Amino acid sequence: MIDDDGPGFCAGVKDAGADPFCERLAGRRFSVCRQILGGCFRFESTSKALLDLVEVAYAGLPSHQLPTGAPDFRIELRLLPRQVSPHAAEPPPVRVQSGAGLLCGVMDASNYVVLAPGQHSGLVVASQDMLGHPYHLRYELIEFAVFTLATRGLGLVPLHGACVGRDGRGILLLGASGSGKSTLALHSLLQGLDFLAEDAVFVQPESMLATGVANYLHVHADALCFIDEGAIWRWISQAPIIRRRSGVEKFEADLRQGHGRLAAAPLELVGAVFVSSQSADDADVLLSPVSSDEIAARLSADQSYAAGQPGWRCFEQRLMQAGVHQLRRGRHPRDSVDALRRLLDRCR
Q: What is the pLDDT of residues 258-312, one digit of tens each?
A: 899 999 999 999 999 999 988 877 767 899 999 989 999 999 999 999 999 999 9
> CATH number, domain at 329?
3.40.50
Q: What is the pLDDT of residues 327-338, one digit of tens each?
A: 998 888 999 999
d(Cα 256, Cα 262) in Å, to the nearest integer?
A: 8
Nearest-angstrom CA–CA distance, 156 and 226 = 35
Model pLDDT for residues 63-109, shown as the tens digit of each residue: 999 998 889 999 999 999 987 777 678 899 999 999 999 999 999 99
Distance CA 188, CA 211 (A): 17
Nearest-CA neighbor of 94 among 113, 77, 68? Answer: 113
Segment holding 86, helix H or strand E: none
Residue 223 pLDDT exceeds 50: yes
Residue 330 is assigned to a structural domain of this protein: yes
Q: Do residue 107 and residue 177 come from a single domain? A: no
| 304 in the same domain as 182 | yes
Domain coverage including residue 121: 30-154
pTM of the model: 0.91
If asked whether residues 260 and 320 sit together in one domain, one would say yes
CA 62 vs CA 212, 255, 306, 308: distances in Å = 10, 12, 25, 29
Q: What is the mean pLDDT of the chain?
A: 91
